[in-house]
Structure 1
Amino acid sequence: MSTQKTVRQSADAVEENSLRLDQDKAEQIVDALNTELANAYVLYHQLKKHHWVVEGAEFLPLHEFFEEAYENVEEAADEIAERTQALGGVPVSGPANQEKRATVEFEGEDVYDIRTMMENDLEMYGDIIESMRDTIELADNLGDYATAELMREILVTTEEDGHHFEHYLEDDTLVLEEATK
């Protein structure tokens, strides 16, 4: 392990960027992107937990659904982090920093029934979707159309995944409940 301790960029600093976006504007957008990144990782960990603990008659399709959802979130987080860096910022990293920075809250370590878990996920998706829309508006208003476009693409996938949670939560099902308990 290296003993060199030279800090090349402070985590809270936004340096001049080669994209020629004004420093003040870049700082505002980096701040918003780091919130989106933190939110993505809170959602990622909650979805991953649900992937691990889901049980019941619909185990396999739900297990696979959660996997696809958290993979989408992880891919989006990577794109957000790379854009943050391109704008001269440092992507928020580390679970403690991400949790502190996020505007959404992890449901906790307890295991809930599948409907409750999915309702918690859908609620978090809704909060993240609203936050993403704000970030898109900010980027547009500051003239950072590339960030706005990137976030629009991520928003489409996020909304689609959120809508799939909504479908799972409908009351129509082919799975029969036990008539007597």
Structure 2
Amino acid sequence: MYETLNDLSPSIRERMIELLNARLADAIDLRTQLKVAHWNVKGPQFIALHKLFDEIVDDADEYVDLVAERAVQLGGVADGTARQVAERSTLDEYAATGGGNGQEHVDAVADALGQFGRSARQAIEIAASAKDQDTSDIFTEISRGTDKWLWMVEAHRQTGEWVRPSSGDRGEAGRDAAH
């Protein structure tokens, strides 16, 4: 690690750099999967999906920079080559690799966004427990943005018919809201 006047302990910085590089691999992988969707989408919703996927790429580019630059701020090195990403990414392989129609790309992008959002939320907790609020905040921003994009992509999968969950499906949040 590089020396820095950052007041986080070296052990916390080292753990956060490792976390950041793990999520950097996911962010770069997400970005490339989104570009594959953008390039290859076909069908009646082509223009809407083509533009949507490219807008998500723009935000994914910002996530990549936020994560990489935070690793460097903490005295680390950002590991973001194609080989490093291929080795470290936890995202599943893009599911619509054979071209695919709009719906296949919507499903594949939704899956990737869901996985990426889950790993961002896990990173929030890890960084917060290490008392690195700045890194936690970065992942909170990424999680919030990813959830927004997931909502917009999933709207292309939904039929518009909403079904009220049964009382057994509500979980704690549903019980808390009901009381």
TM-score tier by shorter-chain length is 0.7 to 0.9
Alpha-carbon distance in structure 2 between the residues aligned to 1:134 and 1:71: 23
- How far apart are residue 132 of structure 1 and its match? 0.9
Instruction: Give the match for residue 41 of structure 1.
Output: 28
* Structure 1 segments of 4+ aligned residues over 4 angstroms from their partners: none
SS, match of residue 155 in structure 2: helix
2:53 aligned residue (66, 81, 85): 66
Asked if the contact 2:41/2:105 (under 8 Å) is kept, the reply is: no
- How far apart are residue 57 of structure 1 and its match? 1.6
Aligned residues: 159
User: Is 1:24 matched up with 2:5?
Assistant: no
1:156 aligned residue (125, 129, 144): 144
Instruction: Give the match for residue 79 of structure 2.
Output: 92
Query: For the aligned residues, what is the CA RMSD?
Result: 1.4
Alpha-carbon distance in structure 2 between the residues aligned to 1:58 and 1:116: 12
Residue deviations 1:79-124 (CA, integer Å, cap 9, x gap): 1111010011111121111111111133274212221222121111
- How far apart are residue 17 of structure 1 and its match? 2.9
Identity of aligned residues (%): 28
Instruction: Give the match for residue 163 of structure 2.
Output: none
Residue segments in structure 1 that go unaligned for 5+ positions in a row? 1-13, 173-181
1:113 aligned residue (101, 104, 110): 101
Instruction: Give the match for residue 116 of structure 2.
Output: 128
- How far apart are residue 133 of structure 1 and its match? 1.1
TM-score by length of structure 1 reads 0.83
Residue deviations 1:120-163 (CA, integer Å, cap 9, x gap): 21111111111111111111111111111111111111110011
Alpha-carbon distance in structure 1 between the residues aligned to 2:92 and 2:5: 35
Asked if the contact 1:15/1:23 (under 8 Å) is kept, the reply is: no
TM-score by length of structure 2 reads 0.83
Alpha-carbon distance in structure 2 between the residues aligned to 1:126 and 1:107: 13
Greater fraction helix: 2
Alpha-carbon distance in structure 1 between the residues aligned to 2:88 and 2:139: 18
Alpha-carbon distance in structure 2 between the residues aligned to 1:151 and 1:53: 29
Asked if the contact 1:40/1:73 (under 8 Å) is kept, the reply is: yes
